[in-house]
């Protein structure tokens, strides 16, 4: 019994429902770990853990759907005394993250079997990372964002190095870890400075503070803001904070690369949008030029550096930098239109990146090391369907009409031109031309006759059921997003309107 004089520690009421999607994912992760320790040597554990992971994603999606229905009728709100927000914006990003996680899980099953890496921990780590991303999507507080950043990153560091026998995978893990923790530190320092300037870490609180009070000495705030941008710029792989991207994307196991490209970008951009367009909207005159610079640099560095590569996985890694540039075009517009364009772009990029990396994973075959352009020669005659699908995903990334990539580019350019940024849009379009050159090189290689003497006959390309399903979903989605994008565009638009402020 507690004595009468002791006051219980006051804690915020826990709104379980607000974080139910995250809990579902994390519960599945814990279940996998428990199962692994209970049934240590049963070979079926691997199979079961993948199913549990998919079930966890499904449960999480269900809770996210319920949140959407609630937000749609009752409007957005803040829970856990403002630490997290339950709003349309969060639901949209969470849907993208869940979709990307599902696709990555489907790819992983066959990959792990092929590489003899079967272990349930892989799925637990992926779910753990996804939990962090989900939390980041609904974070309404800089501390929550930092926590989720750490949750998602630490699991990803391990995943990147998961193929222990391959030196490049180890290198990827270590590189990602060193630079990642450095950027986390920078981000944390940014939080401290922003807290110092505004007296709160709550995003809505910052917005209210800045609306009420004009800072006479705003140096601390700006340095803090800059550090936040650097920290998140690292996570979204925007130039000039992109140095790690090619090496890590190339070295990490390919399903992890797909997961990083699709889901991490979505989560990190959610944080960028919440912090900059949400909390610091009033100061957009000050941060927009910086984001403008990041966008232009990312577009140019990503597409130009990809031109000189001969490794397909590395080309796609560089291109992911330029795709971050396109999303930043939407961010720097600092309007609702720009935000929903960025959301749509992130969603489309998740689909086309996962699809392209899935084929890269298959073509690499056992050992995950056949990534050179010459390895793609003759793919069209050997495996016409795979070549056709990769062509589809690459053309989508190039922004060819009737694929989602075109609509995504159309919406970010629209957002830029809407606020009078004609030159930024033009830079984006010309970067797309350079990008097209890179993608067409890969396409040309696939449709070239096989190089008889140069390419040694490797093992056959085997498409397992999970990868097949993932590819079908991705291909269907990318055409759907290109031909009838209305549904997702409207969703993104509604999500932006239902943003908790």
Bridge partners (DSSP) listed for residue 67:
none
In whole angstroms, the minimum distance from the beta carbon of 207 to another protein comes to 26
Closest CA to 241 of 320, 158, 173, 298: 298
The encoded tokens of residue 210 equal: 């800045």
The token pair at 315 is: 């080309």
Compute the least distance from the CB of residue 193 to another protein, in Å: 37
Phi then psi dihedrals of residue 79, to 5 deg: -120, 175
Residues 6+ apart with CB under 8 A from 6: none
Distance in Å, CB of 405 to another protein, minimum: 11
| In the complex, minimum distance from the CB of residue 291 to another protein, in angstroms, rounded to a whole number | 20
Query: What minimum distance in Å lies between the beta carbon of 247 and another protein?
Result: 28
Instruction: Give the nearer residue to another protein in terms of CB position, either 175 or 441.
Output: 441
Q: How far is the CB of 137 from another protein (least distance, A)?
A: 22
Q: How far is CA 305 from the centre of its chain?
A: 21
CA–CA dist 407, 375 (Å, integer)? 32
- Dihedral (Cα; 376, 382, 383, 387), 10-degree rounding: 40
Residue 283 vs 439, nearer CB to another protein: 439
Q: What span, in angstroms and rounded, lies between the C-alpha atoms of 416 and 404?
A: 19
Which SS3 state, helix, strand or coil, does residue 322 take? helix
Query: Is the Cβ of residue 146 or residue 413 nearer to another protein in the bound state?
Result: 413
Contact 318, 309 (CB under 8 A): yes
Report in angstroms how near the CB of residue 223 gets to another protein at its nearest. Answer: 35
Residue 55 or 402 with smaller CB distance to another protein: 402
Instruction: Name every residue whose Cβ is closer than 8 Å to that of residue 10 and which is 6 or more positions away in sequence.
Output: none
Nearest distance from C-beta of residue 489 to another protein, angstroms: 4
Least separation in angstroms between residue 365's CB and another protein is: 25
Beta strand 77-79 with 84-86: parallel, antiparallel or unpaired?
A: antiparallel
Distance, in Å, from the CA atom of 339 to the CA atom of 367, rounded to the nearest integer, reads: 40
Instruction: Name the residue nearer to another protein (CB basis): 311 or 336.
Output: 336
Report CA Rg, the chain: 22
> 118-131 burial, b if ≥16 CB within 10 A, otherwise e?
bebbbbbbbbbbbb
Binding site for another protein (CB under 8 A): 395, 400-402, 406-407, 410-411, 413-414, 417-418, 422, 425-426, 429-430, 432-433, 436-437, 440, 444, 447-448, 485-486, 489-490, 493
Cα–Cα separations (whole angstroms), residue 249 to 173, 176, 252, 253: 10, 10, 6, 8
**Residue 344 Cβ vs another protein, minimum distance, rounded to whole Å:** 9
């Amino acid at each position: 019994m507690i004595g009468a004089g002791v006051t219980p520690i006051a804690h915020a009421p826990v709104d379980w429902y607000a974080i139910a999607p995250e809990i579902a994912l994390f519960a599945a992760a814990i279940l996998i770990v428990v199962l692994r320790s209970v049934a240590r040597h049963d070979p079926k554990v691997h199979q079961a853990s993948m199913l549990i992971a998919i079930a966890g994603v499904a449960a999480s999606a269900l809770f996210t759907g319920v949140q959407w229905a609630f937000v749609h009728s009752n409007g957005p709100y803040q829970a856990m005394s403002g630490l997290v927000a339950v709003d349309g914006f969060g639901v949209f990003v969470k849907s993208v993250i869940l979709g990307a996680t599902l696709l990555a899980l489907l790819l992983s099953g066959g990959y792990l079997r092929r590489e003899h890496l079967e272990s349930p921990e892989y799925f637990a780590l992926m779910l753990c990372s996804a939990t962090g991303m989900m939390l980041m999507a609904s974070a309404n507080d800089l501390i929550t964002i930092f926590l989720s950043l750490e949750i998602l990153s630490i699991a990803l560091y391990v995943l990147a190095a998961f193929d222990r026998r391959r030196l490049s995978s180890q290198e990827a893990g270590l590189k990602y870890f060193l630079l990642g923790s450095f950027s986390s530190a920078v981000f944390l320092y940014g939080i401290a400075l922003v807290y110092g300037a505004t007296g709160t870490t709550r995003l809505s609180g910052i917005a209210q503070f800045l609306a009420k009070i004009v800072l006479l000495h705003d140096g601390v705030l700006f340095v803090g803001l800059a550090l936040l941008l650097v920290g998140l710029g690292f996570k979204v792989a925007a130039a000039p904070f992109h140095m790690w991207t090619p090496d890590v994307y190339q070295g990490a196991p390919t399903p992890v690369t797909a997961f990083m490209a699709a889901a991490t970008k979505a989560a990190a951009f959610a944080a960028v949008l919440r912090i900059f367009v949400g909390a610091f909207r009033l100061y957009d005159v000050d941060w927009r030029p910086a984001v403008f610079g990041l966008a232009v640099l990312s577009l140019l560095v990503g597409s130009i550096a990809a031109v000189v590569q001969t490794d397909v996985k590395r080309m796609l890694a560089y291109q992911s930098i330029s795709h971050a540039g396109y999303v930043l075009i939407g961010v720097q517009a600092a309007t609702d239109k720009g935000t929903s364009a960025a959301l749509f772009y992130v969603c489309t990029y998740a689909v086309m990146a996962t699809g392209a990396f899935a084929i890269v994973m298959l073509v690499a075959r056992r050992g995950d090391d056949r990534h050179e352009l010459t390895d793609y020669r003759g793919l069209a005659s050997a495996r016409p369907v795979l070549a056709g699908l990769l062509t589809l995903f690459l053309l989508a990334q190039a922004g060819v009409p009737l694929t989602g990539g075109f609509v995504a580019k159309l919406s970010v350019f629209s957002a830029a031109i809407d606020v009078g940024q004609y030159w930024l849009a033009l830079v984006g379009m010309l970067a797309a031309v350079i990008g097209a050159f890179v993608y067409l090189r890969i396409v040309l290689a696939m449709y070239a006759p096989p190089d008889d003497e140069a390419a040694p006959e490797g093992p056959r390309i085997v498409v397992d059921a999970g990868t097949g399903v993932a590819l079908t979903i991705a291909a269907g989605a990318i055409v759907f997003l290109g031909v009838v994008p209305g549904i997702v565009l409207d969703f993104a638009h509604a999500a932006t309107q239902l943003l908790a402020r």
